[in-house]
Structure 1
Amino acid sequence: MTVPEEVDVIICGGGSTGCVPAGRLANLDHNLQVLLIEAGEDNLNNPWVYRPGIYPRNMKLDSKTASFYYSRPSEWLDGRRAIVPCAHVLGGGSSINFMMYTRASASDYDDFQAKGWTTKDLLPLMKKHETYQRACNNPDIHGFEGPIKVSFGNYTYPIMQDFLRAAESQGIPVTDDLQDLTTGHGAEHWLKWINRDTGRRSDAAHAYVHSTRAKHSNLHLKCNTKVDKIIIENGRAVGVVTVPTKWVGDGEPPRKIYRARKQIIISGGTMSSPLILQRSGIGDPEKLRRAGIKPLVDLPGVGLNFQDHYLTFSVYRAKPDTESFDDFIRGDPQTQKKVFEEWNTKGTGPLATNGIDAGVKIRPTEEELAQIRSWPTPDFQRGWDSYFKHKPDKPVMHYSVISGWFGDHMLMPPGKFFTMFHFLEYPFSRGWIHVKSADPYEAPDFDAGFMNDKRDMAPMVWGYIKSRETARRMAAYAGEVTGMHPHFAHDSPARAYDMDLETTKAYAGPDHLSAGIQHVLSNQASRL
């Protein structure tokens, strides 16, 4: 379909945030001409997108559906450069993410203190977009007629019950709905953005864009196209300049102008939106001049306050009778044939889930806070007092169990595994991103800022302790994978017990384990 050069609304960025208004506006008024521009490729019926169980492939460095931003070397990461993946495909993160159904806390919205943006105001919109495909004890806070499907997927690994039992033995209550906007401490059988009826990922592009374009002709789509900058005339945004996403020819790339009669929406995501604004002359005037860009709007906050979760993985050996997806990941022909056939014919089986069937949101107890204060990095107490203490709906850490290891099995010993992945829910550390020139193809100056705030160290250590204590209580546990955990002294109760089941059982108690990990990790934290 020919894309018109002038439309009513232009949306720059076809991720989750762009697909929703594109589809909603185009359905609101079929005379309204809407153009959605996306730098990545179209995701329509892309098997790497819609088959849930193969989502890790999208995160590999040679991925065609993700791009990777390299941060500056950081003294807080021992001189390493953080690599931050971002979706590079229509549908954005909803096309390639882990599919974990997770809602914010009520106080997150209420903290805006902005009219129309309270949790009470936004709840009808949360309900409007979802179809909750499970038995529900909270029908007043979930939706049942929306385009995005929420379910347990069409397969659940038995390790889910093992994890929940172990978490409950630690005093973490198992709840029916951890995404009720108010519960900040608990464990649950985790829901997923997967359509129970088909076994397919439920992403924003298929739900809002492709479904609309199948019926109406007023939603125009331009993929593999990068927005260079916004055209501003007399203080008003009137159009956009685009270039091909990739340009390998000689000289300047071909540029195309699209004009908007009514409105332009910038929805390029955390990384791309600031760069589009800066190339358009919107940002810190001094920084823009250094990049050779004429300042048009003095808005120094553009590109500042980058915030991201720190995601860490801890890998454990699983007993031989534990069901995992390891053989599938390894490429075992019989396993893959069986899994693909089941999903192709019935939409069920291991390919119809993400392998992340249970997880927790947790807050430290008073006793744990006292322990954290005794560590060489006691700064978290300030953050707790100012941000968490009086808002019980805000969890500090999250961790989940993954039914296998989806990394490179060539680097692993033979056997079966399960993985704990954990992240800090609300990092205090902040980074920034800024263009270095007006060239849309030049990599930006990016500092992820990971761990540059001392308040983030202690909760990360504490989260690792909690998840490891959960793992050692699980029936599937057969030791830590040596090299995938911090190194502890040979006589430490926290050392890895790789394939040493009897010794592991002897040291699985929380008192010995917690004391050993706290001692060694707090010393590591002190050095960092």
Structure 2
Amino acid sequence: MDNTFDYIVVGAGTAGCLLANRLSADPDKRVLLLEAGGKDNYHWIHIPVGYLHCINNPRTDWLLRTVEEKGLNGRSLIYPRGRVLGGCSSINGMIYMRGQARDYDGWANLTGENGWSWSACLEDFKAHEDNYRLEGEKAVSDDDLHAGGGEWRVEKQRLNWEILDAYAAAANEAGIPATPDFNSGDNTGTGYFEVNQRSGWRWNSSKAFLNPVKDRKNLEIRTNAQVKKLRFDRDENGQKVCVGADLIWNGQDTSVQVRGEMILSAGAVNSPAILQYSGVGDAEYLQQQGIRPEHELPGVGRNLQDHLQLRTIYRVEGVKTLNEMAGSLHGKARIGLEYLLKRSGPMSMAPSQLGIFTRSAQGQEHANIQFHVQPLSLEAFGQPLHPWPGITSSVCNLNPTSRGTVLVRGNDSMKPPEIAPNYLSTDEDRKVAADSIRMARKIAEQPALAQYNPQEVKPGLSYESDEQLVTAAGDIGTTIFHPVGTTKMGRADDPMTVVDSHLRVMGIRGLRVVDAGIMPTIVSGNTNSPTLMIAEKAASWIRAENRA
């Protein structure tokens, strides 16, 4: 078996599937795609509500946890990361969200690379978009914001809930206008999320980008292949260069070689872990862990950012919610039958249906919080729905200033790293948390919801002062699964930079990182589609730089 390739992509997740597609389009380049997990042939991956069966399931999830967090009153959280073809796009919430134009313009200013500006990134979003507004035509919308005919399907949700319509009306009454499109560059407003589905089925990156090209002779896909460490050498000029990787494939130790580029797309947790186990990171720290340093890059595994959602829960009356629909065998049968016959209803639901972007307080210059509103309630993920009608209004700080770490502990490369998000560790984040709960209460108090008599169950009206509300946030806060920043992009004069503006690892030739870890600052919204955009942009750069 020839184990030498022009490109090796580590991680067949959101970014990796697109990269494999784009890089193997050149028949003269041999491409290897490595995935630590298995194939995406588990039926619950493809049924939208199946995320409930995929998260915290070893068949599809890495089963990671955070450390016990001071900001969460000593709690440790599950930290879902996809371990299957499609990666997190196989287990996530399916929400199509780009963020805000200022996110990308900020990256361009930070790096000095105009290719990261909103206007430039918009073209990369459209390069693979297949938006329902254009009905599959290879065309661009009149407002130049959307495209059709690409691989990444975007559709309206196939459901309707009276209580969510009322909640949207209440948000309007609270001064938050309706918006027809969250993806224009300014996502301020209220509306139903658009989702990555096709006709009621989940549309993951494996279906979109791998399935159409899996038979290319120059593309090899290996599942159950976990990288242990990268291999390095020096070129004729003495520069360090990545030449391959050691891995375990189907239980056997093996190695692969690369003559072009090694591309880490293992995500914001595993990419920095692979680098550290390979000796790339803070040299002093690596030595303490029993790892021989290969290359000093102290920013590896630092700068972790995530969206912490505060799950406020309200009991309601006189209206249907999923709690009572799914609370009986008859109700479950009706739900299953609707999906079987129409591919609609609760089984076609993304985890969250209604979205709101607004300011947590008047002093904020832009929408800095996001609501994910659901017609259901439960104590915590994985627990039963409440026996009474309820809704959940989760709100997160879009631009947290808290920074955490993803650091290996010891030198066993099969051991997951320690994840310490450091939630609510800054005064700014604590203030936004308190104000966010107040905003949820303001919406609940509007006339549009009055007939349903919403009663706050979590956190409870006894929490009033900033200090009390921060304590409550620590009790009800949980990750919304958006870790980024741990291999951050930046300028050469920033000692914490890991990759340059074209995502090349600083000081090592033939090695890039292409995943959410490169984000210097988190985007103002869900992170999956921005990760695809990053991969689209990187693929064009990689192909241009490696043309014979």
Output the CA distance in 2 between the equivalents of 1:476 and 1:267. Answer: 49
Are positions 1:286 and 2:260 aligned together? no
Q: Which residue of 2 aligns with 1:218?
A: 218
Q: Is the alpha carbon distance of 1:217 and 1:405 closer, same or farther for their aligned partners in structure 2, counting shifts above 3 Å?
A: farther
Q: What is the TM-score with the length of structure 1 in the denominator?
A: 0.80
The offset of 1:268, in angstroms, is 0.8
Q: What is the TM-score with the length of structure 2 in the denominator?
A: 0.77
Q: Which residue of 2 aligns with 1:254?
A: 252
Contact 1:420 1:467 (C-alpha < 8 Å) held by counterparts: yes
SS at match of 2:211: helix
Are positions 1:453 and 2:451 aligned together? no
Match of 1:397 among 347, 355, 369: 369
Are positions 1:485 and 2:459 aligned together? yes
Tell me the alpha carbon deviations over residues 379-437 of structure 1, each in whole angstroms, 9 at most, x when there is no partner.
Answer: xxxxx6xxxx3xx4xx2111121021365797665222211111110110001121122
The offset of 1:313, in angstroms, is 1.3
Q: Where do 5+ consecutive residues of structure 1 fail to align?
A: 246-252, 370-383, 489-493, 495-515
Q: Give the letter aligned to residue 241 of structure 1.
A: D
Q: Is the alpha carbon distance of 1:526 and 1:88 closer, same or farther for their aligned partners in structure 2, counting shifts above 3 Å?
A: closer
Q: Which residue of 1 aligns with 2:79?
A: 84
Contact 2:95 2:196 (C-alpha < 8 Å) held by counterparts: yes
1:94-243 equivalent positions in 2, closer than 5 A? 94-112=89-107, 113=109, 114-134=113-133, 139-183=143-187, 185-195=188-198, 198-213=199-214, 215-234=215-234, 235-243=240-248
Output the CA distance in 2 between the equivalents of 1:475 and 1:219. Answer: 58
The offset of 1:218, in angstroms, is 2.6
Q: Is the alpha carbon distance of 1:306 and 1:138 closer, same or farther for their aligned partners in structure 2, counting shifts above 3 Å?
A: farther
Tell me the alpha carbon deviations over residues 346-377 of structure 1, each in whole angstroms, 9 at most, x when there is no partner.
Answer: 323332232633211111453xx4xxxxxxxx
C-alpha root-mean-square deviation of aligned residues, in Å? 2.7
SS at match of 2:334: helix
Output the CA distance in 2 between the equivalents of 1:193 and 1:466. Answer: 29
The offset of 1:128, in angstroms, is 1.4
Q: Which residue of 2 aligns with 1:464?
A: 437
Q: Where do 5+ consecutive residues of structure 2 fail to align?
A: 135-139, 235-239, 476-548
Output the CA distance in 2 between the equivalents of 1:76 and 1:169. Answer: 33
Q: Which residue of 1 aligns with 2:69?
A: 74
Larger deviation: 83-92 or 15-24?
83-92
The offset of 1:329, in angstroms, is 4.5
The offset of 1:43, in angstroms, is 0.9
Output the CA distance in 2 between the equivalents of 1:463 and 1:68. Answer: 30
The offset of 1:326, in angstroms, is 2.6
Are positions 1:56 and 2:52 aligned together? yes
Tell me the alpha carbon deviations over residues 263-285 of structure 1, each in whole angstroms, 9 at most, x when there is no partner.
Answer: 11001101000010111111111
Output the CA distance in 1 between the equivalents of 2:383 and 2:98. Answer: 36
SS at match of 2:182: coil
Output the CA distance in 1 between the equivalents of 2:217 and 2:377. Answer: 44
Q: Which is bigger in relative contact order (C-alpha 8 A, separation at least 6)?
A: 2
Q: Which residue of 1 aligns with 2:314?
A: 316
Contact 2:64 2:78 (C-alpha < 8 Å) held by counterparts: yes
Are positions 1:438 and 2:411 aligned together? yes
The offset of 1:301, in angstroms, is 0.6
Output the CA distance in 2 between the equivalents of 1:254 and 1:364. Answer: 52
Q: Give the letter aligned to residue 306 of structure 2.
A: D
The offset of 1:178, in angstroms, is 2.1
Contact 1:193 1:203 (C-alpha < 8 Å) held by counterparts: yes
The offset of 1:295, in angstroms, is 1.2
Contact 1:316 1:477 (C-alpha < 8 Å) held by counterparts: no
Contact 1:101 1:193 (C-alpha < 8 Å) held by counterparts: yes
How many residue pairs get matched? 458
SS at match of 2:67: strand
